Copies of this chain bind each other. A is one copy, B any other.
Amino acid sequence: MKSNEAKKEFIQAWGSLGSSWGINRTMSSIHALLMSSPKALSTEEIMEELQISRGNANMNIRALIDWGLVKKRFIPGERKEFFEAGKDIWEIARQIASERKRRELSPVLEVIGRLKETEDQSDPEFTALLKDMHEFTATLTNVMDRFQQSDRNWFFKKLIKLIS
């Protein structure tokens, strides 16, 4: 199979993975396209490749930059902007985990923490649920923070240790 076909399939797969996890399909497709491209691409090239409108391309490129997954790249002699994605899968995972935690998990954890402190404990089972959730998420948050601060090798080694 030609790399080009493989890339197309990869873009499809990554796009549908994103959309089943609440990230819009175009955004993850652009990400996949940039990950699999050896060179930085312009908005026009992205539009062309994925058959999407300029507005759509622009918005989703901005979102990717906002997530820290894509960077602008200036090319000497060129007037337009080019974009490239990081290709270190550990770094990508770290970035995605970190952003999702910040955007979608933390607000909920905050609510749970507050409820735990303020509810009147008239239903002991519910009180216990809040307590457990708090403990559980504290542990997970801790792990994720370590993951985010760690370098690739440190975390990899720890994981290997964990599963053996």
B19 and A126: CB pair below 8 A?
no
B3 and A119: CB pair below 8 A?
yes
Could you mark each residue 82-115 of chain A with 1 if its beta carbon is under 8 Å from any beta carbon of chain B, else 0?
A: 0000011110010000000001110110011001
Given A22-B22, A129-B87, A132-B89, A108 and B13 touching (CB < 8 A)? yes
Separation in Å of the A106 CB from the closest CB of chain B?
11
Docked pose: A100 CA to B105 CA in angstroms: 17
Residues of B within 8 A of A123 (CB): 3, 7, 36, 38
Docked pose: A86 CA to B112 CA in angstroms: 18
A118 is an interface residue with CB less than 8 A from chain B: yes
A111 and B38: CB pair below 8 A?
no
Residues of B within 8 A of A88 (CB): 132
A35 is an interface residue with CB less than 8 A from chain B: yes
B1 and A118: CB pair below 8 A?
yes
Residues of B within 8 A of A75 (CB): none
- Select the stretch in A47-55, A60-68, A138-146 that faces chain B: A138-146
B112 and A38: CB pair below 8 A?
no
Residues of B within 8 A of A1 (CB): 115, 118-120
A59 is an interface residue with CB less than 8 A from chain B: no
Residues of B within 8 A of A136 (CB): 89-90, 93
Q: List 16 A-B contacts (CB under 8 A).
A: A1-B115, A1-B118, A6-B115, A6-B130, A9-B115, A10-B112, A13-B111, A14-B108, A16-B108, A20-B22, A87-B129, A89-B132, A90-B136, A142-B163, A143-B162, A162-B162
